[in-house]
Amino acid sequence: MTGLLPRRTLPVLMYHRLGRCPGGDPQLWVTEQTFARHLQWIRQRGLRTLSLDEAYECFSSNSPAKDAVLITFDDAFAETLERAAPLLQELEMRSTVFVPAGLLGKRATLASQGGSYEIATEGPIVDEEGLRRWIDAGQEVGSHSLTHSDLTTVSPETASAEAARSKRRLEEVLDHPVLDFCYPFAHHDAEARRAVSEAGYRAAYAGEPPTEDLFALPRMMVFPDDTEQRYARKLSGFYYWISAWHVRLTRASRRR
């Protein structure tokens, strides 16, 4: 994505929580009104919201659809799914939530990774029935490990267990295959990618920068203060290329 010519990448948007931030990292929260506005921006641009199967086809064939976007949520906090589902359903849009399967129905406290907050976010994770309601609303589910562990900081054996046991747990709850994974904190290395692959997933989502590795697929975090112009850049499929050129220009300006 650092070449001279622009290359389109399927836009994959990363949300965390919907509502007003009561504490922790406010960058993880987008209000319901803002999310509804984002969905309208997607519709106004004539974009389709993809299923995981459709997104996988785009990435595996290296041919991103020009009129599509994948919407994803991390962590599966109950109130976020309850707020997001009717907004998506009303507009006949799809999305995916990545679930830490071992935390279903529990209250979770997720640590901050390198940020200025000791606790990034906390609250109840969706329970089994809530997850089934999410599916009934036309939405999808992927794995986010068993306990939201950073797979790059645990032993290879633990990383393998986190990936495999999460897959089995979600498949038991939903009674259908779970084929896609998302790394907690977007952190991955060769050992983490191996663990996810050997657990039987077909693909894994990470963060930036983009790669062509199906087990390090790119996503862009959505922030509460994203303007329509910045959001449009993220939807364009050229956001990574634009960002890479911005870095190049900034470095060149500093050298001068």
Q: What is the pLDDT of residues 223-256, one digit of tens each?
A: 999 999 999 999 999 998 887 665 555 555 566 5
pLDDT classification of 208: cutoffs 50, 70, 90 = confident
Q: In the prediction, which pLDDT does 190 show?
A: 97
- At the fourth CATH level, the homologous superfamily of domain 12-255 is Glycoside hydrolase/deacetylase (3.20.20.370)
Look at residue 1 in the predicted model and tell me its pLDDT: 47
Contacts for 113 with CB less than 8 Å, ≥ 6 apart: 120, 150, 185, 187
Report pTM: 0.93
Q: Is the pLDDT of residue 117 over 80?
A: no
As a whole number of angstroms, the distance between CA 25 and CA 17 comes to 11
The torsion of the CA quartet 81, 149, 243, 17, rounded to 10 degrees, works out to: 20
- Domain range list for the chain: 12-255
> What is the C-alpha to C-alpha distance for residues 229 and 155, in angstroms, rounded to an integer?
42
